[in-house]
Amino acid sequence: MSGSIQSVERAAAILRLLGGGERRMGLTDIASTLGLAKATAHGILRTLQQEGFVEQDAATGRYQLGAELLRLGNSYLDIHDLRARALVWTDDLARSSGESVHLGVPHQGGVLVVHHVFRPDDSRQVVEVGAMQPLHSSAMGKALAAFDPVVRTQLLAADRPRFTARTVTGRRDVEDLLEVVREQGWASDLEESWEGLASVASPVHDRRGVAVGAVGVTGAVERVRESRDGAVRPALVAAVRDCARAVTRDLGGGRFRIN
């Protein structure tokens, strides 16, 4: 176990102990069971308590597992749950924007499309659920990387192939770009993945503030930008962000979150 941190090991041992048969334990019992000095055990318990991983019963002074730990265990968001909750909002986004809508989650170094609403015209389209989009060039990928540190690390560590002349591949350029996305709360892909296609995406957060997915619209670049090299249409950005906020709210995410 070289390189392991002793206090983290001891904290883990305390959590295991409290998760065992005897659910509530006093400080003396915890310290003696684990062979720790009472002061050491108390310090660790106090830190765990601050993080919400341990709670102390006010009457008896005994310790038990905290609510935060239970939340962590249950927080895994099922992608089909996410789709069910996003359904009405993404339908409305497709209707108001006149473009196709995708909902994606981070998956194996890319973005997995978990929901797709057709562009509301009579053209022939196929359901793209299950397809993957690249992290570094797609709007959903950038929106996720800007708000989720794990995805950001993946993006920076991975190969970033050039799909078009506009694909941003350099590490420093990508980092700058993610900074902008983080500040403005939305990302775009202006012919960076496919010639002629542009997208706008915004992240969806769960109740702990984690960016669990991104919602985006995709259309011909002429319809997404004000002019061929102009800004992204503000109404489109507003519609995408409205939709992302609505899904975030449905997931119990904070109403007053900045992005």
Partner 1 sequence: MTDKQSNSSRGQGPYIAAIDQGTTSSRCIVFDKDGRIVAVDQKEHEQIFPKPGWVEHDAAEIWTNVQAVVDGAIAQAGLSKSDVKAIGITNQRETTMMWDKNTGAPVHNALVWQDTRTDVLCREFGRKGGQDRWRRETGLPLASYFAGPKIRWLLDNVEGLRERAERGDILFGTMDSWVIWNLTGGVNGGVHVTDVTNASRTLLMNLHTLAWEPKILEAMGIPESVLPEIRSSAEVYGQAVGGSLAGVPVASALGDQQAALFGQTCFDEGEAKSTYGTGTFLLMNTANKPINSYNGLITTVGYRIGDQAPVYALEGSIAITGALVQWMRDQMGLIQSAPEIETLALTVEDNGGAYFVPAFSGLFAPHWRSDARGVIAGLTRYVTKAHIARAVLEATAWQTREICDAMAKDSGVEPTTLKVDGGMTSNNLLMQTLADFLGTPVVRPMVAETTCLGAAYAAGLAVGFWSDTDELRANWKRAAEWTPDMSEEDRADQYRKWLKAVERTKGWIDED
Q: Which residues bind partner 1 (CB under 8 A)?
A: 78-81, 83-84, 87-89, 91-92, 94-96, 116-118, 120, 122, 125-127, 129, 235, 238-239, 242, 246, 249
* Smallest distance from partner 1 to CB 245, Å: 9
- Our CB check for partner 1 shows the closer of 60 and 74 to be 74
* Smallest distance from partner 1 to CB 254, Å: 15
- Our CB check for partner 1 shows the closer of 55 and 213 to be 213
- Our CB check for partner 1 shows the closer of 139 and 239 to be 239
* Smallest distance from partner 1 to CB 135, Å: 23
User: Tokens 């019963």 sit at which residue?
Assistant: 57
Exposed e or buried b per residue across 158-171, where buried means at least 16 C-beta atoms within 10 angstroms of its C-beta: eebeebeeebeeee
Is 31:13 a contact under the CB 8 Å cutoff?
no
User: Tokens 């002429």 sit at which residue?
Assistant: 222
- Our CB check for partner 1 shows the closer of 122 and 229 to be 122
Nearest-angstrom CA–CA distance, 219 and 63: 56
- Our CB check for partner 1 shows the closer of 119 and 152 to be 119
- Our CB check for partner 1 shows the closer of 39 and 238 to be 238
User: Tokens 């941003």 sit at which residue?
Assistant: 168
Other C-beta atoms lying within 10 Å of the C-beta of residue 236: 25
* Smallest distance from partner 1 to CB 224, Å: 15
* Smallest distance from partner 1 to CB 139, Å: 19
* Smallest distance from partner 1 to CB 47, Å: 31
